[in-house]
A and B are shown apart, each in its own frame.
Chain A
Amino acid sequence: MALEIGSEIQEDFRVLRLNGRLDTETSADFELAAHDLTAAGERRFVVDLSGISYVSSAGLRVLLALAKQVQTGGGAMRLCGLAPSVRQVFDLSGFSKLFMIAADIASALGNDPSSAPAIGKAAADILGASSSAPRMASPSPSLGRQAADLLGAKQAPKPGLFARLLAWFKGQ
């Protein structure tokens, strides 16, 4: 199989599911697909590599180019589902530390470092706790967290098994 690209919106990410191999022959197809999306203004991507059998440097080049473009545009790009041999290529090339790599799509979506503080802040605002309140010289850093907990917002960076199962069922 050369390369199939599945594309869908999940939460506020464009999720691309790749199937086949990401090599000299196929990486141009991925580059074109990614170009169409970034040209349309999309800047938040999760690339699911669980259906990819191997990635060569041609595939790494296209992933790097997309990540650079997305980062420049203030977006986010996450990878998930790397098979052991794909992971090895990422490790050997030093790419593992350049990308945020999650186990699967659910954790790639849930692992948003920017959304958790935002929820906490929103919850704190709702509860009327403001850092500009006169008597709060040094606002407690845990206040946002407590407020978020009160509102039932999950702050754990990795969703639990149940949440992931739920996400999986939703995705079916």
Chain B
Amino acid sequence: MWQWLKRLFSPGAAPAEPAPQVWNFRIKGGRAEIGAVNDALERAAMAGEVPEAAMRAMQVALDELLTNAITHGSVSLNDPMQVDLIIHKSALRAMISHAGPAFDPTEVAAPDLEGSLQDRQIGGLGIHLVRSMMDEFSYEHADGRNVLKLGKRFK
């Protein structure tokens, strides 16, 4: 309504791209909290216009990376992990920031995907899924924190 009124009273102005929606989460170390982030993402994506495929890919990526951070990082009550979800008009983005020793998951070697049922191992598969399913996957270590950025485009 306000958008429409604003547009009505500012002739000639190009319709602005809708502002991205942002959700912030603080994770203190429980695995159930990862599910809560993914449930929130699902509700937000369903309410918006995010295609299901993009939303599911982001859920898998978040499950992998947040689990790694809780397992190997120093996520705690006093120093929680920050997760920002951003829904743009044509992309889904996430930024994860947590304390802990510097670790760059984008450098993890690709796993061996061959082999029989009995030979197959699961190591490295999570990061491989993130790399394969995301359009953007970057890492930096800043101010003593590991910062990961994810992006999935759609449309």
A residues contacting B by CB (< 8 A) are: 2, 21, 23-26, 53-58, 60-61, 64, 67-68, 71-72, 84-85, 88-89, 92-94, 98
Contacts and interface: CB of A to CB of B under 8 A. Distances in A.
Interface residues on B, range: 20 to 34
Nearest to A94: B113
B52 interface: yes
Contacts of B133: 88, 92
Contacts of B32: 25
Nearest to A2: B35
B74 interface: no
A67 B125 CA distance: 17
B125 A93 contact: yes
B84 interface: no
B117 interface: yes
A88 B129 CA distance: 10
Contacts, number: 80
Interface stretch (B9-17, B56-64, B91-99): B56-64
- Which residue among B35, B52, B116, B118 has the maximum number of chain A CB atoms within 10 Å of its CB? B35
15 contacts: A23-B34, A23-B38, A24-B31, A24-B63, A25-B31, A53-B56, A54-B60, A56-B60, A60-B122, A64-B117, A67-B117, A72-B118, A88-B53, A92-B128, A94-B120
A128 B35 CA distance: 61
Given A53-B56, A93-B129, A23 B63 contact: yes
Contacts of B38: 21, 23, 54
Contacts of B106: none
Nearest to B125: A57
